[in-house]
Structure 1
Amino acid sequence: MPTNPHPLIQVLKAELKAAGLTYAALARELGLAESSVKRMLAKGDMPLSRVDEICRVLKTDFAELSRRVADAQPLRRELTLEQEKAVVADRKLLLMAVSVLSQWTLEQVVATYRVSEAEGIRYLAKLDRLGIIELRPMNRYRLKVAKTFRWRPHGPVMQYFREAVVGDYYSGGFDGEGEMLTLVHGQIGRSLATLFNERLQRVAQDFAQQHLADQKLPDAQKRPYTLVIGMRSWLFGAFRELKR
C-alpha cells in the first residue's frame, strides 16, 4: 500500500466525507462489497470508468474533480533557476509574469500594454508550462504560487531588477501624492528582526489585497504604485569605513 495516496484519491476521500457518504453507502451505489471499496481507495488502483461512477454518485464530474486536485496541490514559494532564466529572457513574458502575480486579467494587460491578445494567450500558455499558473477556459487562470512567493534573491529576475529597474525606481523624488521614501537605521534584537519581517510581509499582502479590491474602480480613480520593502543587516559603505 502506498504511504502517500495519489492526490486524486485524497480528493475523492475528502469529497465523500464532505457529502456524508460512508464506504458502505458508496459500495451500495456502485454495486460492490464494502471491502472492495475500502481496498480500492486504500490502494488507489481503479480505472477511470470507476472514477466516473464515483463522480456520478457525488453528483460531480471528472473535470471538476481535476480542478479540486489542482487546487489541493502545494503552492510554489519560488521558481527554479532555469524557470527564472526562461521568464527573464523575454521582456513580454516577464511583463506577463508580473501581471499575473498581481492577478491582472488578459484583457487588462492587452488594454494597458502593447501586447496583442494572441501574444497574451501565448505568454499565458508559457507561464502555465513553467508552473506559475494553471491556465483555464476563456483565458482565465489560477495562480500556482504561494502568497509568500518571491523571486530568488540572487536569481536572474532579481539581477535584472537590480540592473535595469532599481536605478529607475530610486531616481524619482518620492514627493508625489501617496509617495514616500524613508530610511531608518538602528540596532535591534535578533528575534525582533523576525517580527518586523512578518509585519512588513503583512503590509505587502495588504497592498496586494487592496490592488485586487480596487480593480472595480474607474481608471480615473486609480494610479499605478509600486511598493518596495526591504530589510537587511547592513551598514552604508561610507559609514563602514568610519567604524572603529
Structure 2
Amino acid sequence: MAQTSALLKALKKELKANGLTYGDVAKHLDLAQASIKRLFSEENISLARLDKICQMMNLEISDLVKTMSERQGQLQQLSVEQEQEITKDINLLLITICVLNKWTMAEMMDHYQMPETECIQKLAQLDKLKIIDLLPGNRIKLLVDSNFGWRENGPIQRFFQQTIGNEYFNSQFEHDDEILLVLNGMLSNQSNGEFQRKIKRLAREFELLNQEDTNLNLNDRHGVTAVLAIRGWRYGLFEHLRNQEK
C-alpha cells in the first residue's frame, strides 16, 4: 500500500503540474467528479484507469513510476531562510543555478572566473543545504525533485524580479532563439482560469524538455529564461481618461 500511496501522490502532483483538476479527470473517464475523489481517497484506481489518466498528460505508467522513484526523499522546495542565504551571495546563487542545470564542477570552472577553492566552498554550502551531495572528486549528486521550484514570492523570486527585470526586457527579441508576445483582451473568470491552466501545462513541458536535454553535452545547451504570466492590468497610460465611477 505504501507504493500505491506514493504512486498516486506522484500522479496528483503531475495533474497539478499540468493544470488538471479532478473535474478534468472525471470528464476524461466519463465519471462523476465525486467518484474520482473517492477513487483517489480510497486509493483504488485500476491500471486501465491509471493508464487513461496518464494519457491525458502524454505519460506512460512507467514514466509515472520513474517520477515517483526520483521524488522519494528528494527536496521540492527550500525554506525562506535557505533562499535568503543564497540571495545574499551572488557567487553562491550562480553555483546553485549551475548545479540545478546539472553542470559539473569542471564545467563551472571552465565558464566562470572563480578560484577552485571558492567553488568547492560554495558546493559545500549547497551540500549543507541538502541541494546536492558533494561526492569524492568533487562530483555532484543532485538531491532535488524534478519539480523543484523556488518559493512563490520568496527571496529568490523577488531577487530576480528586482534585479533582472529591466535587463531581461532590454531586447528587440529579434533573434531566432527569442520571442516576445504581448496579448491584450477581456476574459471571463472561467476563460482566465483555463488560460492559466494552459500556461502551467506549457511550463511543465518546458521542464520536461529541460530534463531531457541535461543528457546532452553542455556545448549543445544554451541558457534560456522564459517568463509566463497573466494578470488583470489597467494600463496607467490611459488611467487619466478613465471614468472614475466605473
TM-score, normalised to structure 2's length? 0.59
Q: CA separation of 1:206/1:103 partners in 2, compared to 1, >3 Å: closer, same or farther?
A: farther
Question: Distance between the aligned counterparts of 2:133 and 2:192, measured in 1?
Answer: 35
Residue matched to 1:228: 227
Aligned to 2:147: 147
Structure 1 pair 207–89 and aligned structure 2 pair: CA distance change class (3 A): same
Q: Percent identical across equivalent pairs?
A: 27
Relative contact order, higher structure (CA 8 A, sep 6+): 2
Q: CA RMSD in A?
A: 3.2
Give the Å deviation of 1:115.
Answer: 2.8
Structure 2 unmatched ranges of 5 or more: 7-68
* Count, aligned residues: 177
Letter matched to residue 91 of structure 2: K
Find the counterpart in structure 1 of residue 38 from structure 2: none
Q: Highest CA radius of gyration, 1 or 2?
A: 1
C-alpha distance in structure 1 between counterparts of 2:238 and 2:130, whole Å: 44
Aligned to 2:131: 132
Shift of 1:200: 2.1
The C-alpha deviation readout for 1:204-226, integer Å capped at 9, x for no partner, is: 3333333444452572x554322
Gaps of 5+ in 1: 1-9, 15-68
Structure-2 change in CA distance of 1:127 and 1:165 (3 Å): same
- For residues 84 and 223 of structure 1, do their structure 2 counterparts lie closer, same or farther at Cα, with a shift above 3 Å needed? closer
Give, as a single letter, the amino acid of the residue that structure 1 aligns with 2:237. Answer: A
Partner residue of 1:108? Answer: 107
Name the counterpart of 2:206. Answer: 207
Secondary structure (helix, strand or coil) at the match of 2:241 reads coil
Q: 1:143 to 1:206 in 2, by over 3 A?
A: farther
Greater CA deviation, 188-197 or 90-99?
188-197
> 1:14-73, CA deviations, whole angstroms, 9 ceiling, x for partnerless residues?
9xxxxxxxxxxxxxxxxxxxxxxxxxxxxxxxxxxxxxxxxxxxxxxxxxxxxxx99622
Shift of 1:97: 1.7
TM-score (norm 1): 0.60
